[in-house]
Amino acid sequence: MKKFIIVVSVLVALVILFDTCHYRWGLYIDLDPEREVTTFVKTEGADIVLDEGEGYAPFEIKGVNMGSGMPGEWSTDFSVDKDTYLRWFAQIQAMGANTIRIYTVQNDTFYNAFYEYNHNNPDPLYLLHGVWVNDYILNSHRDAYDEEFFDRLLADSRTVVDVLHGRKKINLGRMASAGHGSYKNDVSPWVLGYILGVEWEDVTVIFTDEKYKTNEDYNRYSGTYLYTAEEATPFEALLARLGDTVITYETEKYKTQKLVAFSNWPTTDPFEYPKEITEYLMKCAKIDVEHILTTDKFLSGQFASYHVYPYYPDYLSHVKDWGDLHEDIRIEEFRTEDGGLNTYKAYLSMLTHHHTIPVVISEFGVSTGRGMAQVDVNTGRNQGHMSETEQGEALVQCYNDIKGVGCAGSCVFTWQDEWFKRTWNTMHAVNLMRTPYWSDYQTNEQYFGLLSFDPGEEQSVCYVDGDLAEWTEDDVVFDDGDCRLSLKYDERFIYLLAKKQGFDFETDVLYLPIDVTPKSGSSYCENNGLLFDRAADFLLTVDGKENSRLQVQERYEALRSTYSENVHKFDTYLEENVPDKDSPKFVNINMILKAEVFADEEDVEIRSEVFETGVLTYGNANPTAADYNSLADFAVNGEYVELKLPWQLLNFADPSRMTVHDDYYDGNYGIEYITVNTLYFGLSDGTTGGRIALHPQKLKGWENTVTYHERLKPSYYILQSAWRDGCEG
């Protein structure tokens, strides 16, 4: 028995040792060093070609970026299950896409599902895989050659290669912003290539280049597969070393090669811009992968990867003579039918003219969020405040521009909406530790997806379409015989149904005062001469299709609390600028679009910009309706007005816990939170005189338990028509 135990123990130890060496340390023995290195994908001039068995044929990447976020979960929870992935893969391919792009190592669930979907599938999906850079390190004081930056990046790149070949185990927390698990399915036969890195921080790039520009050990690289041109910068030499390491590792260990690209975007593009761009728009760094060259031993080749959106940064709108940027780009070639300019297509053309290798636009997209962060002044493809139909039309326009200038492929950003995300111009207004637990329709970054996660297990509690059948007596807040108000809410909206006897939408006006916080508000609105029986924070006015809006008492204006100096040119926290606690002035609700203040080349001052997000859009917000408009805020049915209000528009920082903004000026000097459990609502046409009564409505948060169901947006089907059926939008 003792010998048996010893033998078993030795065998177990050997198994553990093998498992550790093979799956964790990556050690291997090359049993056939003479085995030929192969590739099924490579570049030919400006094209990517794929081995179809009887030779290589041109292959256009029609890709979809995919994140890992789900409602109620952070992206780093990697909570998507296998059945969901399989369903998504089928939907993505049915849309006409042939490629999925992911940014970092997912949990093993993704690769298991990807293997199952492609195994024995004559029409597989392909994969572009990224290597992520730790956000903290990228935004720290380090240059790119710092050990914590570059050595970590090299190690993570090798890990990605092993994951894709099914030879890796990763413990939880081993890689920053990455998944974990046992990766034993070889999905490499369907991997087109690697996009290494992220949207590089310009300060990291320029800091690295300046620090090492006179040190030849850092601004030159000569490897087996990649080497640098004489003009290369230290950061470009670093990328060459990184790419060569990945190619060498996969070639020597697995006898195969894939395409390689380095992530890039306009902020670090290779072009020389005039003074107003370099100084006032902070275009201080460049990365040019034309300075990274390949040897004959690299069979697959390199492509140029760019994230390019139509709205930011739109450098060409600030440049009068495009010929100064590139001799082959003439402004008149990009005039639109209405006399405007398509600066997006012009910029794409600059990229394809500059590069001798294939160009792939690995991110492009627009958001269907109600909020907006950037405006495309030329073609109207904005970052936000676009309906789901407008999103589809804009995506097809972008795709046609991309294809029209000769790019080798593109990837739409993104497959699914992601509740956890934040945007620069709304992040001041919400609790960033709680974003996965509600759907913030004001934050545009959450709504780039072709797939929506709508609140409710099977359907939402309400659709703003004028249909009264979904409202019951249980929803009534008050009914005084003349006015009646009902309320529902979910993870995205507060829904209201207002009825006023004899109301005529064509001629009458309705006023709905709302009290959110006990800390401030006014019982008088001087704008409209209205009196309330308690201090109100907001006033919702229904005044026809074009002039309906939500306004806020000036002391409770979130924009002013954070951006007063940018927008109003004064510090709101100086004593003389603090609004009275009971100020009777109600102001429009605006959203910041541009916070910078600078002068253009003619010394004309360009100040911050805002847009009025409190304006309400009339229409039908039911996804099943033929005239569906996802941005519709209210609809009318006779004497009834049905409305939906995004939580953030009412200064909720986290409705899952019913926390709202505290008084900005009561010792806070900015946005802090308080918890409420009751809101007060009133309703009047303003003609009866006296004070409008506000009635209480209890609210209860849902904490971390969210409900949702999937819905393909109209943009999915519009893009499907362009990709699968070859129709142009």
Tens of pLDDT, residue by residue over 164-193, are 999 999 998 888 789 999 999 999 999 999
Q: Indicate the range of 11-25, 254-268, 676-690, 696-710 predicted with least confidence.
A: 11-25
| Identity of residue 64 | V
Rounded to a whole number of angstroms, the distance between the first and last alpha carbons of the chain is 77
Mean pLDDT, range 283-289, rounded to an integer: 96
Per-residue model confidence (pLDDT) at position 342 = 94
Q: What are 205's two structure tokens?
A: 């790039």
Domains and CATH numbers, the chain: 60-450+711-724 (3.20.20.80), 465-705 (no CATH)
Phi, psi of 150 (to 5 degrees): -75, -45
What's the mean per-residue pLDDT of the chain? 93
Q: Given pLDDT bands bounded at 50, 70 and 90, which one contains residue 729?
A: very low
Rounded to the nearest 10 degrees, what angle do helices 388-404 and 343-354 cross at? 30
Q: How many CA atoms lie within 13 A of 377 on its CB side?
A: 8
**Band of the pLDDT at 12, cuts 50, 70, 90?**
low
- pLDDT for residue 218 is more than 70: yes
pLDDT digit string, tens, across residues 70-109: 999 999 999 999 999 999 999 999 999 999 999 999 999 9
Residue 151 in tokens: 């050595």
Average pLDDT of span 393-418: 98
Q: What is the mean pLDDT of residues 233-244?
A: 98
* Eight-class DSSP state of 315: G
Q: What pLDDT does residue 728 have?
A: 46
Q: pLDDT tens for residues 290-336?
A: 999 999 999 999 999 999 999 988 898 888 888 777 777 888 889 88
Q: Residue by residue, what is the 3-state secondary structure of 254-298?
A: HCECCEEEECCCHHHCCCCCCHHHHHHCCCCCCCCHHHEEECCCC
The contacts of residue 510 (CB under 8 Å, 6+ apart) are 498, 500, 503, 541, 542, 543, 641, 683, 684, 685
**Alpha-helix runs per DSSP H in 531-633:** 558-567
Can you say how many angstroms the Cα of residue 278 is from the centroid of all Cα atoms in its chain? 26
Environment class of 141 (CB within 10 Å of its CB; exposed 0-12, middle 13-18, buried 19+): exposed
On the question of a cis peptide bond just before residue 368, with omega within 30 degrees of 0, the verdict is: no
Where are the strands (E) in 14-82, listed by range? Answer: 41-44, 47-51, 56-58, 61-65
Please say if the pLDDT value at position 476 is more than 50: yes
Q: pTM for the whole thing? A: 0.94
